[in-house]
């Protein structure tokens, strides 16, 4: 893997903007769940950075859990209608207030699978918190309670989101130069 600079077209959301928005989201969620206990369900692997930062700004008691979903893509960077749960929760969510923490919603198929599965277990409530939302790409309608940023239809990486599994560690959200990434020798 090469240095990320080679594939970075532009920084879409800076580290400062991300962190400032996460402080706001934390305050909003803390207000909404005042007096309740919360279970954060992080969708692996993209949601990890976001959840660990977000939970530092929550002042309601909360536990964390993890789920993983694999999507069968129609293209390499696109999910299809098929999503399969590959890692399930270790906790019973009956009567719990569950908040799903996701990196990005694109077509919505991944989250639709997660919501379908979790809602059948009768939690007290089930809501979604996503850092990024590519609204124009939505194929499955879904109410999103908390959104960090609505973004255009561009392939992004960093801050949990990967480019073929790498670069999740970058502290900002960048737009990928897909031409350069897919034809590294051309330039
Ligand atoms: P959906 O099922 O189409 O909503 O796709 C959601 C999943 O696709 C996310 O959880 C990400 O893992 C991945 N994804 C969608 N767009 C991007 C992107 O721009 N960069 C990195 N991963 C993405
Ligand atoms: Mg993901």
Q: What is the pLDDT of residue 77?
A: 74
Active site residues: 106
Which ligand does the CA of 133 lie closest to?
A: 1
Write down all domains in the chain, each with its CATH number in brackets.
Answer: 15-71+82-153 (3.40.50.2020)
Which ligand does the CA of 170 lie closest to?
A: 1
d(CA 90, CA 17): 34
Residue nearest atom 19 of ligand 1, based on CA coordinates: 155
The residues near 156 (Cβ < 8 Å, ≥ 6 apart) are 12, 104, 132, 173, 174, 175, 176
Pocket test for ligand 1, best of 49, 161, 163 (most atoms within 8 A of CB): 161
Q: Residue 127's beta-bridge partner residues?
A: 99
pTM of the prediction? 0.95
* Pocket residues: Cβ below 6 A from ligand 1: 46, 71, 79, 102-110, 155-157, 161
Ligand 2 geometric centre to CA of 61 (Å) = 25
Ligand 2 geometric centre to CA of 161 (Å) = 7
Share of the chain above pLDDT 90, in %: 84
Q: Which atom of ligand 1 is nearest to the CA of 155?
A: 19
Pocket test for ligand 1, best of 47, 73, 85, 106 (most atoms within 8 A of CB): 106
Tokens encoding 120: 């059948």
Ranges of the chain with pLDDT below 50: none
DSSP the chain: ---GGGGEEEEEE-HHHHHHHHHHHHHHHHHHTTTS-EEEEEEETTTHHHHHHHHTT--S-EEEEEEEEEEEEEETTEEEEEEEEEE--SS--TT-EEEEEEEEESSSHHHHHHHHHHHTT--SEEEEEEEEE-GGG--S----SEEEEE--S--EEBTTB-BTTB-TT-SSEEEE-HHHHH-TTT-
Q: Which atom of ligand 1 is nearest to the CA of 103?
A: 10
Ligand 2 geometric centre to CA of 181 (Å) = 20
CA dist 159 → 12, 21, 113, 175 (Å): 12, 14, 23, 12
pLDDT in tens, 74-108: 566 777 667 889 999 999 999 999 999 999 999 99
Ligand 1 geometric centre to CA of 105 (Å) = 6
d(CA 185, CA 187): 6
148 touches 25 (CB < 8 A): yes
62 touches 38 (CB < 8 A): yes
Q: What is the pLDDT of residue 74?
A: 58
């Amino acid at each position: 893997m090469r240095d990320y600079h080679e594939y970075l077209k532009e920084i879409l959301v800076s580290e400062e903007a991300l962190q400032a928005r996460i402080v706001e989201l934390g305050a909003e969620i803390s207000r909404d769940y005042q007096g309740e206990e919360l279970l954060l369900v992080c969708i692996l692997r993209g949601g990890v950075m976001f959840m660990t930062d977000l939970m530092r700004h929550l002042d309601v008691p909360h536990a964390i859990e993890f789920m993983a979903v694999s999507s069968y893509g129609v293209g390499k960077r696109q999910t299809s209608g098929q999503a399969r749960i590959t890692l399930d929760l270790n906790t019973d969510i009956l009567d719990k207030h569950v908040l799903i923490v996701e990196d990005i919603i694109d077509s919505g198929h991944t989250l639709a699978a997660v919501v379908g599965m979790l809602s059948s277990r009768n939690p007290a409530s089930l809501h979604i918190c996503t850092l990024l939302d590519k609204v124009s790409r939505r194929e499955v309608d879904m109410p999103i309670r908390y959104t960090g940023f609505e973004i255009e239809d561009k392939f992004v990486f960093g801050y949990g989101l990967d480019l073929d599994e790498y670069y999740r560690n970058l502290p900002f959200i960048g737009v990928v130069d897909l031409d350069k990434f897919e034809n590294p020798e051309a330039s």
